[in-house]
Structure 1
Amino acid sequence: VEEIKAAKAVKAAERASEEAAKEAVRRQEAERQERLAETEKKRQDNIAKKEAEHKAKADALKERKGKKAKSKYSKSDVLLLKQVYDEYDRDKSGWVSVAEM
């Protein structure tokens, strides 16, 4: 009877130590998941920050290009000048030769 009680006590102690080991593993895994979540949040924040910077640079570049693209001559003036040029360039070569003058 005493041997059975002792064996039961040993088995109970083994189960308790196994349960403690499992709990330690669960805690470690929970901490690991927490670190991973924190790292992922930092990563997503960094990506959002970089995307915002990129968008700001792209918008600034687009604005600068838009300003440079404007001509100092109106479209009607350019078309009128082309019409006059085409009258001189009779052979449509893109060059006005002395003979065409």
Structure 2
Amino acid sequence: MNTSIHQKAKGISFIILFLIMTVVLFLTLTNTVAADQNNYKEITVKTGDSLWTIAEAYQKENPKLSNQAFVSWVENKNGLIRDHIVPNEKLIIPVRK
């Protein structure tokens, strides 16, 4: 009977440790992403804008990226699906502040 209680305590300890580690990892990653986004410009989409026209407009500020790479970066960082943007939407772009 003592071994049964000991095994349950071990199992509960493992679950608690796992949950603590998960929370710490989540907070670390969230903080890193937020800090990373603070280094880049945020723009507001205007009527008629597309990711391609935005890439062309900011190409000179980040010549290391092709327009296609710029568009892919913006899609990934902003969680966009199929280049779909709308007026007044805020986007983080790969141009340093």
Please confirm whether the aligned pair reaches a TM-score higher than 0.5, indicating the same fold: no
Query: TM-score category by the smaller chain?
Result: 0.3 to 0.5
Q: Which has the higher strand share?
A: 2
Q: TM-score, normalised by structure 2?
A: 0.43
Larger Rg: 1
Q: Which has the higher helix share?
A: 1
Which fold has the larger relative contact order, with Cα–Cα distance below 8 Å and residues 6 or more apart in sequence? 2
